[in-house]
Amino acid sequence: MNILGISAYYHDSAACLVRDGDILAAAQEERFTRKKHDAAFPAEAVRFCLNRAGIDASQLDLVVFYDKPFLKFERLLQTYLQYAPCGLFSFIKAMATWIKQKLWIKDMIRTELEGYQGKILFTEHHESHAASAFFASPFQEAAVLTMDGVGEWATASYGVGEGNKITLLQEINFPHSLGLLYSAFTYYTGFKVNSGEYKLMGLAPYGEPRYKDLILKELLDLKEDGSFKLNMKYFAYPAGLRMTNRAFHDLFGGPPRARESRVTQKEMDLARSIQEVTEEIVLRIVRHVHRKTGKKNLCLAGGVALNCVANGKILRAGPFENLWIQPAAGDAGGALGAALFGWYQYLDHPRNADNHTDFMKGSFLGPDFSNEDTGKWLKEQGIPHRLLTNAELAPVIADLIAEDKVIGWFEGRMEFGPRALGGRSILGDARSPKMQEVMNLKIKFRESFRPFAPAVLREKVSQYFQLDTDSPYMLLVAPVQDAIRRPMTPEEEKLFGIEKLHTLRSELPAITHVDYSARVQTVTEQANPRFWSLLRAMDERHGCPVVINTSFNVRGEPVVCTPQDAFRCFMRTDMDYLIIGNFLLDKKEQKPVEKDSHWKKEFELD
C-alpha cells in the first residue's frame, strides 16, 4: 500500500511516500526548485517520491495533507474580526490567496496528481507533527510534545503515543505561541522570520540575559506548568505583516535592527534573554508532561524542537529517561507525519518498535546519483576529476582535511530536514584555529559569529563531549569535555560580546562555541558507512575522530541536491576539493570562473 503525505502553502513544502509502513522517500520542494523554504505545492518532491517508489499517481492508495485548511481559515477570519479595523491590508492580501488557492487544496491535489482517484485525508497540523515524532521514533510508547508557531489554532500540544495510536491531551492556542514569541525576537534583531531563528540561538552565548526579567514581566504570564499567555499589546502578528509593534520597540529601546546592518551588543543580549526564557518555558512544559503522562520516553517535533540548545537542557535536566527528536521537525516533517498517520492511526496497521532503532533511516530519504551517471556528466562537461577506489576514498579525504583543506562532500541519498548529516556536507578540520572564520566568510558567506557543528564517531563521542547518547540528527547541544578545554587567561575572561569569537577555547576550536558548547552529530557505521569510514580514518591517521560538518550550500541557498548543484556551489566558493561519490575534483584543476557577487542575488538572505 502506497501513501503520499504532503505539506504545502506555509513554508518548507515537502512530500513523503510510505509503503506498507516503510518510509521510502521524503524531500523538501526547495531542494529541487532552489527557492529556500519554498511554500508552493511540492510538485517536484512528489515526482521524486513517485519515481523512487516506481509508481505513478494512479497507483497511490491514500493521500494525506498535513493540516486542515478550513480550520486555519476559521482562525484567520476570527482573528481579523477581533482586531478590525487594524490589519485591513494584511486581510486583503491573505484573503486573495485563500480564496484563489488555499481553500481548494483537495481540487489542487487531484489536479497535480493526475490519475489519482482515491481518498484525500486532512490531519490536524499538530497531529502531523506528533505523528512524525512518535511513529518514526524507536519507542513503542512515549509522551509526545509538539511546539511551533501555529497550526490551525494550536501552537503547542502534548499527548501520548502507544503502539499505533496517538492521543493528544492538551494544547496552547493562538495567539499565545512560544514559536511566534521567538520569531518576534528574530524579527526585532534583524533576521528573517521562519529562517533566521537558528542565528538568534547561535548569537545568544555572546550576550548577557539583561532583558530576561523584562520579557517575563511584560511580554508573558508564565505558569508553573509551562502554560502562558502573551501580552498582545506588544505584538503585531495576529493581524499584520510584522511581528512586533511600536509598544514592543519602545519597551526595548528602539526600532528593529535593519537587515544586514552591524550586530550590536544589544542584539546579543536580546538573543541570550529570549533563549533563556524559551528554555525556562520548555523545561516547565516538559516537567508537566512527565507528571501527566508518567512515560519514560519523550518525542519532540514542531519548529521549536529545532532549538538544539533547549533540547540539550531537556536531556540533561530530565525527567525523561530517553529523548527522540524528529530531524525534520518543522513543517516539512508534517508530510512524513501525515503519511505515517494515515498508515497507523487511520488504517490501524500494527506498529512494533524495538526501543533502539528509529524508522528514519538516518534521514537519508532524498535522491541519490550513481557513479555511472556522475562520471558521464563530468566527462560531457569536460570537468577534470580523479576516480578514487572505495579503499582510497576515506584516507585521501582525511589527509586533505588534516591539511586544512575545505571539502565539499556529496555522498548517497540527500538528507530530509534542515541539517546536513554526511550526505550533502561541507567538511573541515575541527582542530584548526582559523577554520570557523574561513568557512563562514569564504565558503558560506555568512556572519562570522555563527558556530559550526562537529560530526564524531558515536563510539568516541564521550571522549570529546559531555554526552553519552545517540545524537544522529545534530539536534542536541552538549558541553565539550573539560579534558580538551583550554582555560581562559585573566585578560580573555574580560572579553565581551563578539570579542569572545577569536579566543581558542579547546583542542577543537573550530567547533567549540564561546560558551564551550557544541551541536553534536554522532555517526555510526550502520547509518552512514562511508562518512563513518572517513571519521575513522581521521582518527587512525590524525588522532581525531571529529570534523566540522556544515550544510553544502551558501547563505540563502537550499542545500544542494544534484551533482550539478554541488559543482556550481563548489566553483562559486573557496572550497578546495569536491568529492561526488568516488569522483574527486581539485579546485586548482578547474577552469576559473569569474569571481563576482552577482550570483548571490539568486538567493534571498535570511
Reported as a single tens digit per residue, the pLDDT across 76-96 is: 889 988 888 888 888 888 888
Burial of 490 (0-12, 13-18, 19+ CB in 10 A): exposed
CA distance linking residue 432 with residue 202, whole number of Å: 20
More confident residue, 497 or 24: 24
Q: For 475-523, how does the pLDDT look when each residue is reduced to its tens digit (9 = 90+)? A: 999 999 999 999 888 888 888 777 887 788 999 999 999 999 999 999 9
Mean pLDDT of 113-132: 97
Mean pLDDT of 177-195: 96
Is residue 327 scored above 90 in pLDDT? Answer: yes
End-to-end CA distance of the chain: 40
Residue type present at position 146: T
C-alpha cell at 506: 579547546
- Angstrom distances, CA of residue 444 to CA of 417, 512, 551: 19, 18, 9
In the chain, the percentage of residues whose pLDDT exceeds 90 is 85
More confident residue, 542 or 98: 542
As a dihedral over the C-alpha atoms of residue 345, residue 346, residue 348, residue 349, rounded to 10 degrees, the angle is -80
Give the residue from 78, 82, 85 showing the smallest Cα distance to 152.
Answer: 78
* Strand-by-strand arrangement of the 22-28 sheet: 22-28, 14-19, 2-7, 62-65, 119-122
390-402 vs 529-542: helix axis angle to the nearest 10? 50
Q: For 288-316, how does the pLDDT look when each residue is reduced to its tens digit (9 = 90+)? A: 999 999 999 999 999 999 999 999 999 99
Residue 446 backbone zone (phi > 0: left; psi -120 to 50: alpha; other: beta): beta
Number of H-type helices and E-type strands within the chain: 20, 21
Q: For 524-582, how does the pLDDT look when each residue is reduced to its tens digit (9 = 90+)? A: 999 999 999 999 999 999 999 999 999 999 999 999 999 999 999 999 999 999 999 99
Q: Give the model's confidence band at 345: pLDDT under 50 very low, under 70 low, under 90 confident, else very high.
A: very high
Mean pLDDT of 181-193: 97
The alpha carbon of 222 is separated from its chain's Cα centroid by a whole number of angstroms, namely 27
CA distance linking residue 458 with residue 470, whole number of Å: 7
Question: DSSP letter string over 378-406?
Answer: HHHHT---EEPPHHHHHHHHHHHHHTT--
Q: Give the model's confidence band at 597: pLDDT under 50 very low, under 70 low, under 90 confident, else very high.
A: low
Is residue 599 scored above 60 in pLDDT? Answer: no
Q: For 26-39, how does the pLDDT look when each residue is reduced to its tens digit (9 = 90+)? A: 999 999 999 999 99
CA distance linking residue 193 with residue 236, whole number of Å: 14
Sign of the torsion angle spanned by Cα atoms 290, 296, 302, 303? positive
Structural domains of the chain, with CATH: 371-602 (3.90.870.20)
Is residue 228 scored above 70 in pLDDT? Answer: yes
The alpha carbon of 512 is separated from its chain's Cα centroid by a whole number of angstroms, namely 20
Q: Give the model's confidence band at 605: pLDDT under 50 very low, under 70 low, under 90 confident, else very high.
A: low
Quote the strand ranges of 43-137, DSSP E.
62-65, 119-122
Q: Are 234 and 248 in contact (CB under 8 A)?
A: yes
Q: Give the model's confidence band at 437: pLDDT under 50 very low, under 70 low, under 90 confident, else very high.
A: confident
DSSP three-state, residue 232: helix
Mapping DSSP onto H, E and C, the string for 10-29 reads CCCCEEEEEECCEEEEEEEC
- Rounded mean pLDDT of the chain? 95
* Radius of gyration from C-alpha coordinates of the chain: 23
With a CB cutoff of 8 Å and minimum separation 6, the contacts of 500 are 205, 206, 514
Counting every residue written for the chain, the total comes to 606
Is residue 130 scored above 90 in pLDDT? Answer: yes
Q: How would you classify the pairing of strands 2-7 and 62-65?
A: parallel
